[in-house]
A and B are shown apart, each in its own frame.
Chain A
Amino acid sequence: MSNTNSGNVGIVIVSHSHKIAEGAADMVRQMVGDAVPLAWTGGDIDGGLGTNVAGILEAIETAWSPAGVAILVDLGGAETNSEMAVEMLREDRRARVVVCNAPVVEGAVIAATESSGGSPLAAVKRSAEEFYA
Chain B
Amino acid sequence: MRIARLLGIGWLFQFKQMSRSSFDSFLAICWPIFFATVAFFMFRQGGKPDALIYAGLGAAVMGIWTATSVAAGSALQRERWHGTLELLVAAPTHFSVVLLPIGLATASIGVYCMIATILWGRFVFGIDLPVDEPLSMALAIPATLLSIGALGFLIAVAFARFRYAWAIGSMTEYPIWLICGFLVPLTLLPNWVPPISWVLAPTWGMNAIRESSTGGTPLPDIAMCFALGSVYVFLGVIGTEAVLRAARAKASLSLT
Chains A and B form a bound pair? no
**A residues at B contact (CB < 8 Å):** none
